[in-house]
Amino acid sequence: MNLATVPAVNALNAITALLGGGTLNMYAGTQPASPETALANSNTLLASFTFAKPAFTSAQQSSSIEEQSAVFQPASVQPSANGTVTFARASMATSAWAAGTLYNAGQIVSANSKLFYCLASGNSSAQFPGPNSTSASIQDGSVYWQFLGDATAIIVADFTVGTSGADIIVANTSFSTANAVTITDFILTIPAV
């Protein structure tokens, strides 16, 4: 496939918009087969970064690719565990469902260990516990939700991590709770003519 510039920019914008306020978690252990595959018990969370909102700068073209640079808040974090980083997982930000709240179409909330997509704007019910069905259309006060899945976060992408030849290049794959980790550049790209 050879994308034209405008569709490439739109595709990249759609992906980067998902990450605003989301997280980039860096793990030790074997990378799951796909972003839809659950983490293994042997995967250890080493460091967690939060994407700014918006998460990325405007798309720019650079020698037949469209690219956007991420912004993290903060750019440096203290690892929560010691280990060798092997992969990272980026997730969308979701908020917890709240009673009596105005929700707009397109918002995603977590309730009862499930994720729900707002189909039609409205105010949520004043009663807890919020949506709990797996239906395609769930009425909650005057808002309508669609069940997305049993989870509390939506995974956007997995990345390999290494000192070379990986999606994310790091100076040292050994993370220690004694040393802060800083992201200096995080650029997503998509080919375009």
* pLDDT mean over 96-103: 94
**11-42 pLDDT per residue, tens:** 888 889 889 889 999 999 999 999 989 999 99
* pLDDT mean over 129-155: 86
Rounded percentage of the chain residues whose pLDDT exceeds 70: 99
Q: CA geometry: angle at 36 spanning 40 and 56, to 5°?
A: 110
Say yes or no to pLDDT of 62 above 80. no
**66-90 pLDDT per residue, tens:** 889 999 999 999 999 999 999 999 9
Reported as a pLDDT band with limits 50, 70 and 90, residue 160 is very high
Say yes or no to pLDDT of 153 above 80. no
Q: What's the mean per-residue pLDDT of the chain?
A: 90
Domain boundaries, the chain: 5-82+157-191, 95-149
- Going by their DSSP bridges, the two strands 155-162 and 168-169 should be labelled as parallel
Contact 29, 9 (CB under 8 A): no
The pTM of this model reads 0.80
Say yes or no to pLDDT of 1 above 80. no
Rounded percentage of the chain residues whose pLDDT exceeds 90: 57
**Cα 101 to Cα 88: distance, rounded to the nearest angstrom:** 33
**pLDDT at residue number 5:** 81
**102-140 pLDDT per residue, tens:** 999 888 898 888 889 899 899 999 887 788 888 888 999
**pLDDT at residue number 141:** 92
**pLDDT at residue number 119:** 92
Query: 């569709």: which residue's tokens?
Result: 7
Residues 6 or more apart whose CB falls under 8 angstroms from that of 22 comprise: 50, 51, 55, 90, 91, 92, 93, 156
